[in-house]
Amino acid sequence: MKNLKVTIPAGEKHSYTIHIEADTLNGVLAEVDKLCPGKRPFIVTDKNLVKAGHLKTLLGGKDVPTYIIEPAGEISKHINTVVAIIETMEKAFFGRDTVIVALGGGTVGDIAGFAAAIFKRGIEVVQIPTTTVSQADSSVGGKTGVDSTISKNAFGAFWQPKAVYIDVETLKTLDDRQYRAGLVESVKHALIADDDYFQFFLDNIDAILQRDSDVLEKIAFSNCRIKAEIVEEDPTEKNRRRVCNYGHTIGHAVETASGFNLLHGEAVAIGIVGAGLIEHQLGLADNEQLDLIKKLLLRLGMPVTIPKEINKNGLLDIIKRDKKAVDKWPKFVLIEKIGTARCVDGQWAQDISKEMVKTVLKKL
């Protein structure tokens, strides 16, 4: 087993450990009992995890109250789902002695984490990520939230987990599109923090696409190492943690404009190319660098341009409503080169004009 400690600064909720090992899902509830003695577990998962058999494996024959989100996916990531979870716990007389166990991908983790943050003014949550997106990014760092009818993650809270348990074998039940799209978050980490990790992707793409267990553990550990180091410095995204939004500002807008027909990773891939075009406009990158990034994204089967059916005219308005926007416009995260995020005067996100973003959207 590989373990990583995430040390949250004094004044934040608490520090925790990320546990990474294959074929360990059936033992996680026992570990939760040891970690949270005297607390009652309440599982939040979705229909996909039931179908894949992961809920059954986690339970191991135990009878643990469970809320199953249905339908699975972004369509259920709204405040009504959170209300339903909380009211289900209330009806079963759960209180502040509860630990929510989030079994699933990024959507499940975000919903369950947010429910934990606001139920009885805050209870523990344990994250068990089962997708490439959640194992790479969303399960670590305490970002939780749900969408409004207008934008992504409009309701949310920073709520650090009590622990994270990653069993990479769960990735082998994902359909190919979900699996590949989720790898974009790993590529993002490489771009903002580790050029050797980017090269690892280029050198091992076949083994990655074949879901080799050793390679999957390497990816999980590399992602968590990068994310943990950033979160430790800036747990509530006041500055440096913004680098984790690389590609996401345009990506979230494209995802929303698609009516969430595009998967998160597919939209972020387009956003990464958009960021690369901005970097090119600013003279930070040449064509060779952007071509190399696009080559890897295409090898993963990701789109690198905005699909024709998406109305580009509405993208600027969505960007104006980005949750990080100030005065109706967000700052943008860029890279100096592969493996190095750009920092200007101590700030990890920069002002980019609307005119330049309009130009980039046309090129996309």
Q: Which of 152, 218, 240, 248 is catalytic?
A: 248
Determine whether 189 is an active site residue: no
How many other C-beta atoms are found inside a 10 Å radius of the C-beta of residue 5? Answer: 10
Burial status of residue 193 (CB atoms within 10 A of its CB: 0-12, 13-18, 19 or more): buried
* Active-site annotation holder among 74, 185, 217, 279: 185
Q: Is 121 a catalytic residue?
A: yes
227 noted as active-site residue: yes
**Catalytic residue check, 299:** no
Per the annotation, the verdict on 152 as an active-site residue is no
Active site annotation includes 241: yes
- Set 19, 227, 240, 331: catalytic member: 227
Torsion 228-55-260-184 (CA) sign: positive
| Catalytic-residue membership of 252 | yes
65: helix, coil or strand? coil
Q: Which of 54, 180, 240, 252 is catalytic?
A: 252
- Choose, from 180, 188, 241, 331, the residue flagged as catalytic: 241
Catalytic residue among 80, 121, 287, 313: 121
Stretch (H or E) spanning 195: helix 195-203
Catalytic residue chosen out of the listed positions 245, 266, 331, 342: 245
Out of 143, 152, 218, 331, the active site residue is 143
Residue (of 134, 132, 164, 135) closest to 16 by Cα position? 164
Catalytic residue status for 19: no
Out of 264, 266, 331, 342, which one is annotated catalytic?
264
Known active-site residue 264: yes
Positions annotated as catalytic residues are 121, 143, 185, 227, 237, 241, 245, 248, 252, 264
